[in-house]
């Protein structure tokens, strides 16, 4: 049976892989499939998934909502909300293929939407308001619609995931038919819970997608911190927390990417105490203000957005992560073999240090709606305005 809601927080070990082409050239899905399947032993058939950027150029200005539903009625409820709350430009079932080993798969459908604001509001509303609107919409659907989840919600990107080995999930979603300038993939090894489709990686919010190997021991603290800002952790996995933290720190608080990574995996006090005054003040402030955002525990994560791919390890490097570069391509994976399986002769291979992010952004202006977070962004207006106003979208159905 497909388990929709797990009551227990999952724990898992895993394999991860990612590829980016900095010129925005499209990479066929075969490559990422090969790289993740090379790390077969890191999973146990209870979850796998892919995130692909640049796959919907024809709908590039619309938020692509990938919806997973356990039955028709759940899907209908979602559609009702979407009809009410968004302009749906286009919708279609996500193409899938029958795979013998995959049973009881949920329904998958994608919707290309824009927010529907009050009329006066529509006029003044920019990209940030639209993004926040979509965040609250996704939170609300995931929390309130029984049996349905929005599994990805960015523009020109999408997530495909489920219960199975990576090759099976790839076949099921016909991953080889897509081309993307950034790919990430995940092979899951949950230990304490039966796999469920919603629990597979990548996790997303807007165009942030995360694949994660590890367990976050600070989950309880992070979750409570995120709740302060209106994020609801409904999927009960560590990784969801990472996605929301990135969204909060980078997109909403406007921290430069490098510093946001340092907030998640901060330097030790003994290192900070050794720094020059200005830097010491900065890092002290990061730890003081973002103490509850620290991801404590073993992890290696890859996260991507419409414009870049980042690899990050925990502050003592308790999980593996290897990077490589060749030409315009950068590769990241749990194991070097996974990289060499698709790029046998990289120019450079390295293992990033604990807590040191590896940030690869696309060159400027090579893709539509490109985002860059290297420099940080102006912070959203006032302190209290930082909170997502969830009352924008009161939902009837529950």
Partner 1 sequence: MASPQFSSFYPDFLVQRIWERCIKCKRCVKECSYGVHVWDEKKKTLLADDSKCVGCHRCEAMCPTKALVIRRHPSDFREHALWTPWHIKNIYKQADQGGVLLTSTGCAQPYKNYFDHLVLDACQVTNPPIDPLREPMELRTFIGPKPESLEIEKVNGKFRLKKRLPPLIQLEVPIMFAAMSYGAISLHVHQGLARAARDLGTLYNTGEGGLHASLYEYGSNTIVQCASGRFGLHVDYLNAGVAIEIKIGQGAKPGIGGHLPGEKVTEEISKTRMIPVGSDAISPAPHHDIYSIEDLRGLIFALKEATEYKKLVFVKIAAVHNVAAIASGIVRAGADAVVIDGLRGGTGAAPTMFRDYIGIPIELAISAVDKRLREEGIRHRASIIASGGIRNSADVVKAIALGADAVYIGTAALIAVGCTMCQRCYTGKCPWGIATNNPELIKRLPPDVAYEKIYNLVKGWALEIKEMLGAMGINSIESLKGNRDKLRAVGLTEKEMEILEVKHAGE
Interface residues toward partner 1, by CB under 8 A: 8-9, 11-13, 191-192, 215, 217-221, 224-225, 227-228, 253-256, 258-259, 266, 268-270, 278-279, 281-282, 284-292, 294, 296-298, 315-316, 318, 375-376, 379, 383-384, 386-387
The residue (of 256 and 352) whose beta carbon lies closer to partner 1 is 256
8 A C-beta contact, residue 209 and residue 304: yes
Ranges assigned E (strand) in 169-226: 179-180, 182-190, 203-205, 208-214
The residue (of 181 and 189) whose beta carbon lies closer to partner 1 is 189
The residue (of 294 and 300) whose beta carbon lies closer to partner 1 is 294
Active-site residues, by number, are 14
The residue (of 27 and 260) whose beta carbon lies closer to partner 1 is 260
The residue (of 170 and 216) whose beta carbon lies closer to partner 1 is 216
What does the alpha-carbon distance between residue 32 and residue 185 come to, in Å, rounded to a whole number? Answer: 7
Going from the C-alpha of 232 to that of each of 23, 129, 257, 259, the distances in angstroms are 36, 19, 23, 24
3-state SS, residue 82? helix
Q: How far is the CB of 323 from partner 1 (least distance, A)?
A: 23
Q: How far is the CB of 235 from partner 1 (least distance, A)?
A: 15
User: In 3D, which of 1, 16, 398, 7 has the Cα closest to residue 200?
Assistant: 16
What does the alpha-carbon distance between residue 293 and residue 255 come to, in Å, rounded to a whole number? Answer: 13
Q: How far is the CB of 46 from partner 1 (least distance, A)?
A: 14
**DSSP label at residue 319:** S
Q: How far is the CB of 297 from partner 1 (least distance, A)?
A: 5
What lies within 8 Å, CB to CB, of 133 at 6+ separation is: 115, 117, 392, 393
* Cβ burial, residue 311 (10 Å; 0-12/13-18/19+): buried
Q: How far is the CB of 298 from partner 1 (least distance, A)?
A: 6
């Amino acid at each position: 049976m497909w388990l929709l809601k797990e009551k227990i927080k999952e724990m898992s070990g895993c394999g991860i892989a990612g590829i980016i082409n900095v010129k925005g050239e499209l990479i066929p899905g075969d490559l990422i499939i090969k790289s993740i399947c090379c790390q077969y032993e890191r999973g146990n058939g209870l979850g796998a998934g892919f995130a692909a950027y640049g796959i919907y150029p024809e709908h590039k200005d619309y938020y692509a909502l990938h919806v997973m539903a356990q039955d028709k009625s759940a899907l209908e409820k979602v559609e009702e909300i979407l009809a009410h709350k968004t302009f749906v430009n286009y919708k279609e079932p996500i193409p899938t293929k029958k795979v013998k080993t995959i049973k009881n798969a949920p329904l998958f459908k994608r919707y290309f939407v824009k927010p529907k604001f009050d009329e006066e509001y529509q006029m003044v509303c920019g990209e940030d308001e639209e993004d926040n609107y979509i965040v609250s919409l996704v939170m609300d659907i995931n929390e309130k619609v029984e049996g349905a989840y929005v599994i990805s919600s960015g523009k020109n990107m999408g997530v495909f995931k489920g219960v199975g080995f990576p090759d099976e999930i790839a076949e099921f979603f016909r991953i080889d038919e897509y081309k993307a300038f950034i790919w990430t993939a995940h092979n899951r090894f949950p230990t304490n819970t039966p796999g469920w489709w919603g629990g597979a990686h990548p996790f997303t919010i807007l165009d942030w997608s995360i694949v994660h190997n590890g367990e976050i021991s600070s989950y309880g603290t992070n979750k409570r911190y995120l709740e302060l800002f209106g994020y609801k952790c409904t999927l009960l996995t560590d990784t969801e927390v990472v996605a929301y933290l990135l969204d909060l720190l980078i997109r909403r608080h406007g921290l430069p990417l490098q510093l946001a990574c340092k907030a998640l995996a901060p330097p030790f006090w003994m290192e900070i105490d050794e720094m020059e005054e200005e830097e010491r003040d900065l890092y002290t402030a990061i730890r003081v203000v973002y103490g509850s955002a620290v991801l404590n525990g073993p992890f290696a994560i890859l996260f991507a957005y419409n414009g870049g791919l980042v690899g990050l390890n925990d502050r003592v490097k308790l999980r593996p992560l290897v990077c490589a570069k060749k030409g315009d391509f950068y590769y990241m994976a749990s194991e070097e073999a996974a990289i060499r399986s698709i790029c046998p002769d990289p120019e450079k291979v390295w293992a990033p240090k604990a807590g040191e992010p590896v940030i690869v952004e696309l060159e400027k202006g090579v893709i539509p709606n490109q985002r860059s977070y290297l420099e940080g962004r102006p912070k959203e207006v006032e302190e209290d305005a930082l909170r997502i106003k969830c009352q924008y979208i009161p939902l009837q159905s529950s």
